[in-house]
Amino acid sequence: MHPELVLISNLWQIDHQCDLLRAEHEALANAVRAADAAVKAVEAQLAAIAVQRDEAIQSTRKNDRELADYLDKRDRTRKMIDTGTAPDYAAAEKQLAQVLEIVDRLETAALELMEAVEAVEQARASAQRELELGKQVLVAARAALGARDAPIRAELTELLECRPDAADDLPVDYRSAYAYQRQRKRPALVNTRDQMCQSCQTRIPGQRIVETTLARAVHTCPGCAGWLLP
């Protein structure tokens, strides 16, 4: 390898390794954030379900009380009719018909409320299972971050300590081009195969390949400006 390419490579290896470590840390931290947000979302969903459940239970109780009252009224009216103690027979018959109609409506409502409570209970059970799973995912994500956090920081510190020397060793002629590659988030060094840049798929002039392979000169890819590796 051309000695100047070695110097570019030394700096690039440090920077590239730092990029990989930072990306790894970010991905682990993002996984924790995502898992945390998912748990909070399910908790909010459970709180909303709890409100719905309370409402359904209250409505059921109210309906049950009303139904008990009307069943009682029905029985009393029927008894008056059956025993002939109704002061006005026709009025009692009319009242019984009205009461039966209300009882019918309240019984239908009771069934509907029972179904509503069941549906809410199912939603609650499913959200609780989801919450358990979400908490497990969060614990695992936190453990993964916790396991890598200190090693990544230590590796980064070590690399960043070496960087100033490697940056000083980079010949002045390459510095702005190197900085530009970094700014564009492009690789500083690129591999070639069959005269093609493996980073941007641009065809490389044969002369550049030959001179790079023989370590006679330092060349870049005409497409992405990465320095060619032999």
Residue numbers at the binding site for Zn ion (CB under 5 A): 197, 199-200, 202, 221, 223-224
Question: How far is 216 from 210, CA to CA, in rounded Å?
Answer: 8
Distance spanning both ends of the chain, measured CA to CA: 7
Q: Rank residues 39 and 221 by Cβ distance to Zn ion and give the closer one.
A: 221
Q: Rank residues 11 and 189 by Cβ distance to Zn ion and give the closer one.
A: 189
Q: Rank residues 99 and 189 by Cβ distance to Zn ion and give the closer one.
A: 189
CB of 229 to Zn ion, least distance (A): 11
The answer to whether 188 touches 226, Cβ cutoff 8 Å, is: yes
DSSP codes, 109-133: HHHHHHHHHHHHHHHHHHHHHHHHH
Q: Rank residues 52 and 202 by Cβ distance to Zn ion and give the closer one.
A: 202
**Which residues lie closer than 8 Å to 51 by C-beta, 6 or more apart?**
none
CB of 11 to Zn ion, least distance (A): 19
Question: How far is 120 from 58, CA to CA, in rounded Å?
Answer: 13
CB of 179 to Zn ion, least distance (A): 18
CB of 136 to Zn ion, least distance (A): 44
